[in-house]
């Protein structure tokens, strides 16, 4: 159930990235849109990895294994984010403003989810 919630959250992040990219395209053209998609994509990939890594273990059955997943997932998320950002900046030469707006915008989905209590998860079964 939590893995499906992670995918639904990522879906909303993809939608948010698309909206930001459309705005970037309207304001700055295709290179700005691609930069926004790259920023959003980095956040989505890293966040989804972390969530799926963390939810592999049932916290009720193996609390230590769950916490290990939290720590490893967060560490890999940070390394993955930094590595992908370096590639985006040095290799793809993204436009920084739309890139960062795309990256930051996907976190608004987390904030809204936290504020609303993750309504897409449903009641425990």
pLDDT of residue 6: 86
Question: Angle of helix 96-116 relative to helix 2-28, nearest 10 degrees?
Answer: 140
> For residue 120, what are the CA distances in angstroms to 25, 31, 108, 109?
30, 34, 16, 12
Q: Cα-Cα-Cα-Cα dihedral of 109, 48, 100, 76, to 10°?
A: 140
Question: What is the number of domains present in the chain?
Answer: 1
Is the predicted pLDDT of residue 124 greater than 60, yes or no?
A: no
The CA distance from 79 to 100, in Å, is 17
Residues whose CB is less than 8 angstroms from the CB of residue 73 and which lie 6 or more positions away in sequence, other chains included: 49, 50, 51, 53, 54
In a domain, 125, yes or no: no
Q: How far apart are CA 112 and CA 110, in angstroms?
A: 5
Check residue 96 and give its pLDDT.
97
> What is the secondary structure of 54-77 as a DSSP string?
HTTS-TTT-HHHHHHHHHHHHHHH
Residue 121 falls within a domain, yes or no? no
Confidence (pTM): 0.88
pLDDT at 22 over 90: yes
Running DSSP on this structure, what letter comes out for residue 121? S
**Residue 32 belongs to domain spanning:** 2-116
Residue 51 in domain: yes
The mean-pLDDT minimum among 89-93, 96-100, 108-112 falls in 108-112
| Range from 14-18, 68-72, 88-92, 120-124 carrying the lowest mean pLDDT | 120-124
């Amino acid at each position: 159930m939590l893995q499906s919630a992670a995918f639904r959250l990522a879906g909303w992040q993809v939608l948010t990235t698309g909206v930001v990219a459309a705005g970037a395209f309207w304001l700055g053209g295709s290179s700005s849109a691609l930069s926004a998609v790259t920023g959003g994509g980095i956040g989505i990939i890293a966040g989804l990895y972390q969530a799926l890594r963390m939810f592999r273990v049932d916290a009720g059955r193996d609390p230590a294994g769950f916490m290990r997943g939290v720590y490893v997932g967060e560490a890999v998320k940070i390394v993955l984010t930094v590595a992908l950002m370096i590639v985006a900046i040095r290799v793809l030469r993204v436009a920084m403003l739309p890139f960062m707006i795309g990256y930051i915008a996907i976190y608004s989905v987390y904030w809204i989810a936290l504020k609303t209590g993750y309504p897409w998860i449903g009641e425990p079964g």
